C-alpha cells in the first residue's frame, strides 16, 4: 500500500510539473510497472495518438491478464477521432434469447461475456495543437543513426521540452521520418556493388541493358535493368504490359517495379525491373521511357496497373495509345477494405458482366442501392473509373488475361490431350494449334456451344448473319458474321478481340458450316505453338572467362572501397588492412597459378 502511494505521489508531482508547461505523462516512462498502475494513475497519463493509447491499454491488459476489444468511437466533421473506448473482452452478457432456445440444433458456445467492468476512455484535447519542426526531426534522425532507440529519443526530447505535448511532434511522426530517411538514402557501398555487378553483366552479355539516375548529392534514386531473354520475350509477347509497383521486399523498403507480361504458355514472364525512391509521375515516366528505350521503342497496346493517379498520367504521356486497365486482384482487395461483405461478392459479378453499357449502368445502380453505398465516396470514385475495370467497357480490348484470373497453376503434362467434346474434329485441330493452357480454354468454348440455340440465319450477298441465344436463358443474343469468301468469323461478343480465343458462337457457326478446322481469322498467333521459335536464344550467349572476371573484379572493388574507407581512419586499421591485403594477394596469386591452364603458369 505504501509503495502504491509513493507511485501515485510521484505521478502527481510529474503531472503538476508538466501541466504548468501544458504537457502530460507518457506511459512509456513507466513501462516497467504497467501491471501495477491504479485507475488514479492511469487518469494522469497522456497519449500522442489513438494508436498510442491502444498500444498502452493492450500492454497493460496483457501484463494484468485480460484481453481487450474496441467498444465506442466518435469523430468530428473532419474525421478526427475525438472519443475512443476500449473494454475487456468479457464485458457485457450474452442475450437471453440465445440462452433459452428450445429447438437448438447444436450445442451452445461457452459463455465468455461475464459483465467485466474494466474499461478505458480517451478523449482528444483540442486545445493542444502540434506542428512538426523538420529541424527537430533531422536532429533526432542523427541520434537514431548512432544507435539510440526511438522511444529513448522521444523520452529525452519530452523531458527537455517539459512534456510530450510540448515536443511539437509525436513518436509516430519520428518513426515516419526515420522510415523516409532510409527510403531516400542508399548506402554508397551497396549502390556501387549493384552497379558493378550490372556493368559486369552488360560487358559479358551484349543485350543486357541497365540504366540509372542519381540526385544532386550523387545518391542512387532510379535503377532499371533487363536481360537478353526478357528483351527477346518482349518482342514476342509485348502486346500487353503489366505494371506492378506493390513490392517492397528489400532492405530499404523502396518500391520495386515489375514490368511483366504473359507468354504463350499463359505464364507470367518478366520483361524488366526498376528500383525507385518515390512514386511520382516523373519517376514513372522515367521508368516507362527507359523501358521503351530497352525494347527498341516497341510500345504495348494494353497496360495493366495496380493503381491510378500518377501511374495513369505517366502512361498517358509516354504510351498515349495504350489501353489502360486496373488490376482486378488489387481492386477486389480494396473493395474488401472500403465496403461491406455483401458488396464484395456482388462486385465480382458486376466486374465480369458481358453486357451493354446501358445494362451495366442499370445493374450497378441497383447494386449500390441494395447495399446502401450511395454515399460511400470510394464507391463513387470506383464507378467514375468503370471504363478501366468493367468488362462491359473493356470488351473488344486485348489484355492477355481475364479479369477474374490472377494466378493459375502450371500444367506440366506434355501428353496429347484427350478429346472429350461433341466436336472432336475441331477440338483435335485446336489441340494441334494452341498451347496447352490456351487449348483448355478453347475446349471450354467448344463445350459451351452445346447450350446455344440458333435463332436465325440471314443469307446475304457476301456474308451470312447468324443469331444465337443461350438455351433457357434468352436474355442476351449474339450476332455472328461469316464472310463467305474469306471464311472469316466476327462475333458481337468480341471474345476473340478480348481474350484472343474463338467463342462458343463462332464454334456454332463452324458446326453449321461443316468446318473441320478453325479458320485463321479465329486464331491469335501469340497463343499458338509457333508463337516463339523453338531455337536457341541468339542473344543469350555463354559468358567468356574475361566477362566473368570483369564482373567479379567490379564487385570486389566495391567491397574493397568500403573496407578502405574505414581502415584509413586509424593507424591500427591501416596497418591491419595493409598486411591482410599483402598476404591475401600472395595467396590468391598462388591459387590462380596452381589452378590455371598451363599456358598461364609462370
Q: What is the CATH number of the domain that holds 219?
A: 3.30.420
Cell matching residue 452: 446455344
Tell me the C-alpha distance between 240 and 236, whole Å.
11
Number of domains observed in the structure of the chain: 5
Report yes or no on 400 lying in a domain. no
Q: How many CA atoms lie within 13 A of 54 on its CB side?
A: 13
Say yes or no: 17 and 89 in one domain: yes
Q: Which helix (H) or strand (E) holds 573?
A: helix 571-595
576 with 506, same domain: the answer is no
Cell readout for 518 is 478453325
The residue out of 326, 347, 365 marking a domain boundary is 326
Do 276 and 237 share a domain, yes or no?
yes
Q: Are residues 309 and 349 in the same domain?
A: no
For 181-232, write each residue's pLDDT tens digit: 766 655 545 677 778 888 878 877 778 999 998 888 777 889 999 998 899 9
Identify whether the C-beta of residue 21 lies closer than 8 Å to the C-beta of residue 162: yes
pTM for the whole structure = 0.59
Lowest mean pLDDT among 253-257, 394-398, 430-434, 544-548: 544-548
Q: Same structural domain for residues 267 and 358?
A: no
Q: Residue 325 forms beta bridges with which residues?
A: 304
**Same-domain status, 343 and 320:** no
Across 49-53, 123-127, 370-374, the highest mean pLDDT is recorded for: 370-374
Walk across the sheet containing 323-326 and list its strands. 209-214, 220-226, 268-276, 256-262, 240-247, 302-305, 323-326
d(CA 96, CA 216): 70
432 and 475 inside one domain: yes
What is the pLDDT averaged over residues 476-502?
90
Is residue 46 a contact partner of residue 23, using CB atoms and an 8 Å limit?
Answer: yes
Give domain status of residue 244, yes or no.
yes
**354 shares its domain with 322:** no
Largest CA distance in the chain: 106
**Are both 368 and 289 inside the same structural domain?**
no
| Residue 25 and residue 101 in one domain | yes
Share of the chain above pLDDT 70, in %: 78
Instruction: Report the candidate in 220, 203, 197 with the shortest Cα–Cα distance to residue 275.
Output: 220
Is position 173 within any domain? no
Q: Let me know if residue 538 belongs to a domain.
A: no
pLDDT score recorded for residue 169: 72
Cβ-contact 407, 401 below 8 angstroms: no
- Tell me, rounded to whole angstroms, the distance of Cα 414 from its chain centroid: 33
Same structural domain for residues 377 and 459?
no
Q: Cβ–Cβ contacts within 10 Å for residue 158, how many?
A: 23
Q: Contact, 389 vs 331, CB < 8 A?
A: yes
Task: Please indicate, yes or no, if residue 534 is contained in any of the structural domains.
Answer: no
Q: Are 91 and 115 in contact (CB under 8 A)?
A: yes
* pLDDT band per the 50, 70, 90 thresholds, residue 429: very high
Instruction: Report the distance separating Cα 198 and Cα 338, nearest Å.
Output: 42
Among 150, 171, 178, smallest CA distance to 55 is for 171
Contacts of 268 (CB under 8 A, 6+ apart): 242, 260, 261, 262
Q: Left (φ > 0), alpha (ψ -120 to 50) or beta: where does 41 sit?
A: alpha
Mean pLDDT, rounded, for 116-132: 70
Q: Which domain holds residue 261?
A: 207-326
- Domain endpoint, select from 302, 326, 350: 326
> Does the residue 352 lie in any domain?
yes
320 and 358 assigned to the same domain: no
* Inter-residue contact 303 to 241 (CB < 8 Å): yes
Indicate whether 216 belongs to any domain: yes
Domain boundary among 66, 97, 128: 128
Identify whether 178 is part of a domain.
Answer: no
Phi (first) and psi of residue 235, to 5 degrees: -65, -30
Please report the pLDDT score of residue 189 as a whole number: 54
Amino acid at each position: 500500500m505504501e509503495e502504491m502511494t509513493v507511485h501515485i505521489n510521484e505521478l502527481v508531482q510529474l503531472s503538476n510539473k508538466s501541466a504548468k508547461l501544458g504537457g502530460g505523462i507518457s506511459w512509456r516512462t513507466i513501462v516497467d510497472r504497467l501491471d501495477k498502475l491504479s485507475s488514479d494513475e492511469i487518469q494522469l497519463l497522456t497519449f500522442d495518438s489513438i494508436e498510442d493509447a491502444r498500444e498502452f491499454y493492450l500492454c497493460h491488459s496483457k501484463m494484468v491478464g485480460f484481453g481487450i476489444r474496441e467498444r465506442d468511437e466518435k469523430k468530428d466533421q473532419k474525421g478526427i477521432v475525438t472519443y475512443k473506448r476500449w473494454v475487456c473482452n468479457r464485458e457485457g452478457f450474452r442475450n437471453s434469447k440465445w440462452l433459452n432456445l428450445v429447438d437448438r440444433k447444436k450445442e451452445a458456445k461457452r459463455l465468455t461475456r461475464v459483465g467485466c467492468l474494466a474499461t478505458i476512455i480517451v478523449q482528444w484535447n483540442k486545445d493542444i495543437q502540434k506542428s512538426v519542426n523538420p529541424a527537430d526531426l533531422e536532429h533526432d534522425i542523427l541520434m537514431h543513426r548512432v544507435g539510440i532507440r526511438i522511444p529513448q529519443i522521444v523520452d529525452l526530447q519530452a523531458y527537455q521540452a517539459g512534456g510530450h505535448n510540448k515536443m511539437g511532434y509525436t513518436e509516430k511522426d519520428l518513426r515516419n521520418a526515420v522510415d523516409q530517411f532510409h527510403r531516400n538514402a542508399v548506402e554508397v557501398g551497396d549502390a556501387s556493388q549493384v552497379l558493378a555487378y550490372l556493368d559486369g553483366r552488360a560487358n559479358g552479355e551484349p543485350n543486357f541493358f541497365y540504366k540509372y539516375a542519381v540526385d544532386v548529392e550523387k545518391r542512387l534514386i532510379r535503377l532499371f535493368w533487363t536481360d537478353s531473354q526478357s528483351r527477346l520475350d518482349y518482342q514476342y509477347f509485348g502486346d500487353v504490359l503489366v505494371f506492378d509497383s506493390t513490392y517492397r521486399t528489400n532492405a530499404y523498403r523502396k518500391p520495386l517495379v515489375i514490368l511483366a507480361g504473359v507468354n504463350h504458355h499463359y505464364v507470367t514472364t518478366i520483361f524488366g525491373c526498376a528500383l525507385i525512391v518515390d512514386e511520382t509521375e516523373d519517376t514513372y515516366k522515367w521508368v516507362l521511357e527507359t523501358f521503351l528505350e530497352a525494347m527498341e521503342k516497341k510500345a504495348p497496346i494494353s497496360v495493366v496497373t495496380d493503381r491510378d493517379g500518377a501511374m495513369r498520367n505517366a502512361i498517358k504521356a509516354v504510351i498515349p495509345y495504350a489501353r489502360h486497365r486496373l488490376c482486378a486482384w488489387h481492386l477486389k482487395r480494396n473493395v474488401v477494405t472500403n465496403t461491406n461483405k455483401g458488396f464484395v461478392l456482388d462486385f465480382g459479378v458486376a466486374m465480369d458482366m458481358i453486357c451493354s453499357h446501358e445494362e451495366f449502368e442499370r445493374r450497378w445502380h441497383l447494386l449500390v442501392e441494395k447495399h446502401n453505398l450511395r454515399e460511400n465516396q470510394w464507391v463513387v470514385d470506383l464507378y467514375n473509373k468503370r471504363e478501366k475495370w468493367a468488362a462491359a467497357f473493356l470488351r473488344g480490348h486485348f489484355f492477355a488475361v481475364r479479369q477474374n484470373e490472377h494466378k493459375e497453376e502450371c500444367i506440366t503434362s506434355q501428353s496429347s490431350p484427350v478429346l472429350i467434346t461433341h466436336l472432336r474434329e475441331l477440338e483435335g485441330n485446336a489441340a494441334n494449334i494452341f498451347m496447352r493452357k490456351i487449348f483448355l480454354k478453347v475446349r471450354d468454348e467448344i463445350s459451351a456451344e452445346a447450350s446455344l440455340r440458333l435463332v436465325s440465319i440471314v443469307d446475304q450477298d457476301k456474308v451470312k448473319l447468324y443469331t444465337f441465344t443461350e438455351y433457357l436463358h434468352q436474355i442476351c443474343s449474339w450476332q455472328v458474321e461469316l464472310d463467305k469468301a474469306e471464311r472469316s468469323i466476327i462475333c458481337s461478343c468480341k471474345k476473340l478481340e478480348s481474350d484472343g480465343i474463338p467463342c462458343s458462337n463462332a464454334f456454332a457457326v463452324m458446326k453449321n458450316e461443316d468446318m473441320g478446322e478453325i479458320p485463321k481469322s479465329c486464331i491469335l498467333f501469340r497463343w499458338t505453338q509457333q508463337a516463339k521459335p523453338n531455337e536457341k536464344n541468339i542473344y543469350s550467349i555463354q559468358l567468356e572467362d574475361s566477362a566473368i572476371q570483369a564482373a567479379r573484379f567490379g564487385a570486389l572493388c566495391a567491397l574493397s572501397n568500403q573496407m578502405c574507407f574505414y581502415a584509413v581512419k586509424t593507424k591500427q586499421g591501416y596497418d591491419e588492412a595493409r598486411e591482410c591485403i599483402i598476404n591475401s594477394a600472395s595467396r590468391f596469386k598462388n591459387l590462380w597459378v596452381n589452378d590455371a591452364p598451363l599456358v598461364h603458369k609462370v
